[in-house]
Amino acid sequence: MGPVPKPLIAGNWKMNGMRGSLAQIKEIATSKMLASGKFDALICVPATLLHSAALMTADTPLKIGAQDCHDRENGAYTGDISAGMIADSLGSHVIIGHSERRTRYREDDALVRSKTIAAYKSGLIAVVCIGETEEERSSGRTLDVLRYQLAGSLPDGATGENTVIAYEPVWAIGTGRTASIADIAEAHRFIRSELCKRFNSEGDCMRILYGGSVKPSNADEILHVENVDGALVGGASLTANDFLSICSAY
Ligand SMILES: O=C[C@H](O)COP(=O)(O)O
């Protein structure tokens, strides 16, 4: 067994946040809690806020990321942004394969893999999301789904430096329902073993985040489960108070 990775608390603002919301970013970035160095912190903002947020936090421990990228470097793809553009805007991370994109934009594992390669090429850290639907869980297919998603979504060359995995049961996203502690432990143990099978010692270095209705009231319990190396937080990342209260679990 390799070293335990430093935890990461990542926020995903989704399609929320206008320029006024940068006050929340500033409050998080300048909090003493982040200066403790016990964990890393990241907020993935809408593309419209990326550059301003990155400039605002340049001298702070808070990292700023994007929520998606195209798999090509440039071209006639109206409305899309490339990994290179995210890096150019001073973003450090990009979420790839979030279930909202897998479902609504029919992004499959092959495309997620291709976007992940694009992220690596631009020097970004890819936060690759996987997770089962409610139907897949109730039919006993959770671990099979996670195995296929990991195998299909991660390219060769994934390391603890360039890749973070986010396990998000789809049915727990934005619903207020979280997976049980036993289910989280089982899924994360399984993901860790699959990562180690394929990437050897790098598998131990990759952070595995839990996502799905993480909030101040449940963060402490979830974040102390073995193989849970942080959280991907949606709704509760929109206010500095809630985000920092989740961070206080460390
Ligand atoms: O990316 C974040 C996840 O989709 C979780 O969202 P949530 O915390 O609002 O359930």
pLDDT at residue 114 is higher than 90:
yes
CATH top-level class for 8-247?
alpha beta
Ligand 1 atom showing the smallest separation from residue 237 Cα? 8
Residue 165 Cα to ligand 1 middle (Å): 14
pLDDT digits 0-9 by tens, 88-100: 999 999 999 999 9
Share of the chain above pLDDT 90, in %: 96
| pLDDT for the residue numbered 147 | 98
> Alpha-carbon distance 165 to 232, whole Å?
10
Tell me, what's the ipTM?
Answer: 0.99
> What local confidence, expressed as pLDDT, does residue 3 receive?
73
In this structure, the residues whose C-beta lies within 6 A of any atom of ligand 1 are 12, 98, 168, 173-174, 211-214, 232-236
CB atoms within 10 A of CB 191: 22
Q: How far is the CA of 75 from the centre of ligand 1 (A)?
A: 31
- 8 Å CB contact between 77 and 105: no
What is the model's pLDDT at position 178?
85
pLDDT, residue 209, reads 98
pLDDT score recorded for residue 1 = 59
- Residues with catalytic function: 98, 168
Mean of the per-residue pLDDT values for the chain? Answer: 97
Q: Any known ligand binding at 11?
A: no
Residue nearest to atom 7 of ligand 1 (CA): 234
Q: For residue 2, what pLDDT is reported? A: 63
Which sequence spans correspond to the domains of the chain? 8-247
Amino acid at site 188: H
Give the confidence band of 250 by pLDDT, cuts at 50, 70, 90. very high
